[in-house]
Structure formats: C-alpha cells, structure tokens
Structure 1
C-alpha cells in the first residue's frame, strides 16, 4: 500500500515538462553545488556538445572540474576528494525526477544517493533506492558457517560503497570500496567471499531494483 501511494505521489509531483540537465544545474540548490556562481554554472554546462574538461574555482578555493556531460547527465569533480553526479530519470508519465550521487574519498570512497523533483523538492531515498549493505557484496552460496568466512566477515565494521551513474544508460553501479580500509592481510582473507563485479541497480521508471 505504501508503494502504491508513493507511485501516485510521483505521478502527481512529476507534472513538469521533460527537460535536459542544463537548467537543472542552473537551479541546483547551493547546498548541493557549493560555492558556484551563476556564471560558473553556465560555464559548466556550455558548450553542451563539448566533452573537453571545463574548470572553475568555487568560493572556498576548490577546483571544480567537469568530467562528463550529456543531455541527461553531468559529473563534476568538486574537490580533491569529492565528486557529484546528477542524472535525469524518466517516469512513466513522460516526466522526470532527479538523482544525485555525492561521493567523498578519504581514502576509501563512500557515496550517498538522493532524489528530487525537477524543481528540487526532496523525495524519500528509501522509496527509490534499495538499502545497500555489506551483505550486498557477498557471493551467493558461500559457507557462512566456515571459520574462514566468519574470520573474514568479522573485519567488516563499516560499509564504504562507491555509487556511480552510468553515462550511457540509467543504471547505478555499486562498488564495495573496502580494500583501502582494511589491512592487506584482512582484505586478502575477505577477497574469496566478495562478488567479483560491481552490483548493478536498474531503473524501472519508478524505483531502482
């Protein structure tokens, strides 16, 4: 029932004409794109068909570099340790919502994903993206009662996950960035139990699955 009400909410709040990423970058709240002036925002989205790196310096002295850009996607290196990705996601009623991934690396990378209407009103992340835990990255079929697994699993007291939007489709990849957090010995002990490929989440025009 909760899911049905949420879908109806998206249909109601999505009553905005489909658009490309450029006007959304201009209107992006300052707490997402920090210290970037209007003129700098215009530079980051122009020329739209140019894939050459574009640089601006924000109000706190960090260099912001455009890494990727298309009609529905932008990726920005926001500092030496930060990255921002914004993706337009279509709904079934020919409208869109916005997905935003913010990543900080220090040295392991950790991301958070948030969602907004096209006028930047927050949407509930838990309704749109499944919970990602360390369990998401353990291979299927491992013997969880084995001493080797229990010893390796005991080292996992945090879950640094690097999320990334695909530039060419709407998938989100999740990488368990645990190697830089663990000692070499602990990581080698854990490695046989980890999935070899990133976990991929696909957009079904309502939620990620």
Structure 2
C-alpha cells in the first residue's frame, strides 16, 4: 500500500520544482520585495519591463524622482540601472536537486565601481554568500611570480588598498568575473602597481557553487 505521507511529500517537492522553473526573470523582478532595489516600487519595475519589451528607450521615474531603466532582460538574466550611478545584474542558476537560486550583483558606479554580491532563493529569501562563492580578496589580484621582488609586491599591495572590486555576471555562461576598479588610485601610483596586477579572477557555476577557473 502506498504510504500517503511519503506520497504527499514527493508531490509537494515536484510541485515546488515545477513552480520554480516557471518563474522567469521578468516575473521574479516584478514580484521581488521593494527592499532589494529600494529606489523602485513594484509599479516602477513593471513599467521598466513594459518599456523594455516595447523597445522603448525611455526611463522610468523612480520613487526619488530619479531615472531607472532595464537595459537587458532574458528568461534568466537582467541588467538594471536603478539610478544614473548604479547598476544591478541578476541571473538565475540551477542548483543540483534543489531548484534554483538568484545571484544579484549591486554595483555603485561612482566615484569608483564597487560591487556587492548577494544570493537569494526563488522566494527572495537571502542566502549566505559564503555558501555559494569564496569572494576574492585584494591580494588575489597581485601576481607574486618568482621573479618579483618582495618589496615591490608589498608596495603594489599598499597602492591597491585604495582600489575597489567590482563584479560582472556573464549573460550567457553565467560566469562571474571580478576586476579591480582603480579610479581612486592616482596615475603615478597605478603605473608602479600595474606590473604586479594578476589576471582578474573568474568563477564558474558547477551546479552547487561558484569555483575559480
């Protein structure tokens, strides 16, 4: 005889999986809590979606009378300019056996680009970032080759304390790349540090978490 409790649990899990798959980025963005992007109301977000789908380049006036617009929107990816000095990228990722999650990169464009990366479940419950990625530290941007002098490396590290880190989510692959934002570093200091700046770290999704490429 079929165990009714076990059957209900299985059916509930299947329903949740199907429901999660049905949520594309348009729906997720429209239904997300206002606290995710505080300068925009739900009406603002829906207007942005309508403008983008209608191929209109007009901006939406947000709740602070600033300008907001969507510049890209697909089934699993979105790029939003909530203000003229900020950008938000969102992308969904399939998690093996657990549905999907949403990665959100909040980037402040001035005075230098700086990104905060956050993860949410499909109900917009915030998740622990450390469970999905080990964020790079500034020293990870320094190349410590065998031919480099320790004094020069330490000097480069000191110079780059004035730099910021910003992230970009690749629309197609879903890879996340991190780059140093050096607008706050003077040109003469940056010239001294450039020989020791390593290739920007990139991370790929493996179905469970992001791993360094």
TM range (shorter): 0.7 to 0.9
Instruction: Mark the runs of 5 or more structure 1 residues left unpaired by the alignment.
Output: 1-10
Alignment TM-score, normalising by the size of structure 2? 0.82
After TM superposition, list the pairs within 5 Å mapping 1:152-167 onto structure 2.
Answer: 152-167=156-171
Structure 2 regions of 5+ residues with no counterpart?
Answer: 1-12
Question: Larger RCO: Structure 1 or Structure 2 (Cα < 8 Å, ≥ 6 residues apart)?
Answer: 1
Residue deviations 1:140-160, cap 9 Å, x none? 525564332222222232451
Pair member with larger Rg = 2
Q: Does 1:141 align with 2:141?
A: no
Indicate conservation of the 8 Å contact 2:77/2:90, yes or no.
yes
Instruction: Compare 133-142 and 165-174 and name the one that shifted more.
Output: 133-142
Secondary structure in 2 matching 1:113: strand
Aligned mate of 1:120, from 107, 114, 124: 124
Partners of 2:163 and 2:205 lie apart in 1 by: 23
Aligned to 1:208: 210
The correspondence for 1:92, drawn from 90, 96, 106, is 96
Deviation per residue, 1:146-199 (Å, 9 max, x gap): 332222222232451111111112111111112x1111111000000012x432
Over 3 Å counting, the alpha-carbon distance change for 1:182 and 1:103 in structure 2 is same
Paired residues of 1:101 and 1:112 also in contact (CA < 8 A): yes
User: Are the counterparts in 1 of residues 66 and 83 from structure 2 also a CA contact under 8 Å?
Assistant: yes
Q: Quote the RMSD (CA, aligned, Å).
A: 2.3
Which residue, 16, 26, 31 being the options, matches 1:27? 31
